Amino acid sequence: MKFKLNSEKIKSTVIATFKQFNPVFELRNPVMFVTEVAFLFSVVMAILPSYFGLPVTGNYPEFYFSVIILLFLTLLFANFSYAISEGKSKAIVASLRKLRKETLAHRLKSDGTIEEVKSSDLRKGDMFVVEKNEEIPTDGEVIDGSGYVSESSITGESRPVLRIVGDSVTGSTTLTTDRIKVRASSDPGETFIDKMIDLVNKSTREKTPNETALTAFLAGLTLIFLIVTASLYPLSDYMGISPNLMILIVLLICLIPTTIGALLSAIGIASINRISKYNIMAKSGKAVENAGDIDTIIVDKTGTITIGDRDAKKFYPAPGVDYSDFVKYCLMASIPDKTREGISIAKLARIEGAKISEDDVKEYTFLPFSAETKFSGIEKADESIIKGALSAIERKYGIKDQYIEGISKEISSRGGTALPVVRNGKFVGVIELADMLKPGIRERIESIKKMDIKTIMCTGDDEITAQQISLESGIDEYVANSTPMDKYQVVLLEKEKSRMVAMVGDGTNDAPALAKADVGLAMNSGTQAAKEAANMVDLDNDPTKLLDVIFLGKQVLITRGALTTFSFANDISKYFVILPAIFASFSSLSYINILDLTNPLLAITSALIFNTLIILALLPLALRGVTFRPASVSDILKRNIGLYGFGGVILPFIAIKVIYMLLLAGGVTW
């Protein structure tokens, strides 16, 4: 979602900028509130200089006027940074609101007939039918059928995605094929889009914990500098120097951290805006910042480390079992199985010549796959055909077979998934499901390791497959044969070590772990429970986005740290410019006049000009973020201190000297 300038947006940004001059708004930012009070006070002093004992001869009136203009611009640029960030959030909200429109829905009545109603009349639990090329009226879960859904209106991705039984669908997306039956999962006003609008709206108002802490710290510093500056008034008088309140105001504004104070809100809002570019909706700025502090990542194998669309590759019948019979058994067990694996097994079985229809398995009861049982299949009174994880089947039937174990280990050793099949309690063969590492996943894992983050993979696969995938991808630890409770326990164990934990999931059984993790990323195609438990939702349904979230979280923290370091470093330079100007009559202090600025008023003006312009200069960096390269915390700290600390000290000296010389060249002599 891009923020493109047009006349309306320019107008709204300008209006928002000037609205921020309201002291009630400025009060939430102590640094800028003090700056506004100083501006108003300077206006009064410029109007009544003699009342405040200010000199009115020579070039002093022009100096007072320049101070007023520069303080006004300082506030203007600070307010502009907030307004432009808020404008981007409003643009996101506006684009989401366009998706929220009234459509017709085909609601199923209790007698099985269909009635046409408005989408706003649908309630949680209602069932409705969506035909090919129709818009899905509200959020829900597919309970029958399958089809490809275009989610381009939300994600921008033009390629439709397959939605099968158990998957969730989002209102305002379009079914491009087939026919599905859906159970509504939300009431009007509580849909995914409604919640995203609310969340983005909130993101412009709520401060993150780190931002709140930094604001309090900046307020404390501002108070200290206020006391220090106020103490210079009697000190100047004691030293026989006629104290000039206007110069003391300039000193105060240049010494308090106006740079970071002006950009702080923009950084916080920009983090929400930037994450939306990844098609991720964060429920709070806190979630984004937590990502920057993550110590442990817990991921599933399928869809995160591997591509995830596991397709049936080959059938291995057990000794004594006819190949065609085994393929027929596999097809029978997979016809009612509407998972991606089940569909691929049925497809390969038909290619291999099996001719079983849905009518042939009508008498059977379908046993759906679950994370707890780890098997699925069909059964009736005198026959059962079950396919699933080797350990689960051995445990269920209490059987062992060396051939089946050998084939399963061989498949696992090359990174595939072995799916043994049992008929009437006896092994009849193994199905090989092929899965591949995601391109570039090893490099991304290595980047994570450079930041001292531990990676843990949870997978329902056996020990051999888990170990092989772990070695190939570079994962630190793995949990094989894992259940939803195992994931939750891993989160608990890591948090007991005082580690910040991130996790990705999409199922109802992932909800407890997602809720417990510091950063929980749910897939938009996942269940409602998973999306409610997580504090981020990925519209593209790409589990590897968790890595992008962590990089972004790090970038937000580094950006705030870099600009804070730069702001504090600036104060050192401005100190060596303004203090010599204040005490210019004392030759004993000339040694601190490093830049040899002989005109005190011009030196002070140059420092204030720099203090004002640096806010505007750093605004793009605050909105875009500091360039992030994966590295350890100590390396990042060294880089920040070296680049933004040392640079923050040197740049003002150079810039103020250049501004001073330009003012002299332009004929300004006060």
The CATH number linked to 137 is: 2.70.150.10
Q: Which residues are catalytic?
A: 300
The dihedral region occupied by 382, where left means phi > 0, alpha psi between -120 and 50, and beta the remainder, is: alpha
Indicate whether 608 and 660 sit together in one domain: yes
Q: H or E segment at 627?
A: none
Indicate whether 151 and 255 sit together in one domain: no
Encoded tokens for 253: 């504004």
Its pTM stands at 0.65
- Report the distance separating Cα 197 and Cα 194, nearest Å: 5
- Give, as one character, the DSSP assignment of residue 476: S
3-state secondary structure of 136: coil
- Report the distance separating Cα 286 and Cα 553, nearest Å: 10
Separation of CA 203 from chain center:
12
Q: Which one of 434, 451, 468 terminates a domain?
A: 434
Q: Is 328's pLDDT higher than 90? A: yes
User: Would the CA dihedral through 617, 622, 625, 627 be positive or negative?
Assistant: positive
Quick: pLDDT tens for 439-489. 778 888 888 888 888 999 988 777 887 888 888 889 999 998 887 778 889
Q: What does DSSP say about strands 296-300 and 311-317: parallel, antiparallel, or unpaired?
A: unpaired
The answer to whether residue 244 is domain-embedded is yes
Give 584's pLDDT tier (boundaries 50, 70, 90): low
Indicate whether 180 and 210 sit together in one domain: no
Q: Is 3's pLDDT higher than 50? A: no
Length of the chain: 670
Under 8 Å between Cβ of 57 and 120: no
Indicate whether 147 and 270 sit together in one domain: no
Give 424's pLDDT tier (boundaries 50, 70, 90): very high
Please compute the mean of the pLDDT values over residues 576-594 and round it to a whole number. 66
- Residue 334: give its domain's CATH number: 3.40.1110.10
Q: Is 445 exposed, middle or buried (0-12, 13-18, 19+ CB in 10 A)?
A: buried
Encoded tokens for 313: 């590759």
Indicate whether 57 and 114 sit together in one domain: no
Quick: pLDDT tens for 92-145. 666 667 667 788 899 999 888 999 999 989 999 999 999 999 999 998 989 988
- Give, as one character, the DSSP assignment of residue 646: I
Please compute the mean of the pLDDT values over residues 38-53 and round it to a whole number. 91
Q: For residue 597, give its domain range.
A: 7-94+199-276+551-665
Quick: pLDDT tens for 351-396. 999 998 888 899 999 998 876 788 999 999 999 999 998 988 998 9
Quick: pLDDT tens for 316-326. 999 999 999 99
Q: Count of CB atoms within 10 A of residue 105's CB? A: 26
Indicate whether 543 and 564 sit together in one domain: no
The answer to whether residue 81 is domain-embedded is yes
Q: From the CA atom positions of the chain, what is the Rg in Å?
A: 33
Quick: pLDDT tens for 528-568. 778 888 888 887 777 778 878 888 888 888 888 899 999 98
- Distance from first CA to last CA of the chain, Å, rounded? 50
- Give, as one character, the DSSP assignment of residue 437: B
Tokens 């002006």 sit at which residue?
262
What is the reported pLDDT for 205?
46
The C-alpha torsion from 22 through 25 and 30 to 33, rounded to 10°, is: -10
Q: Is 492's pLDDT higher than 50? A: yes
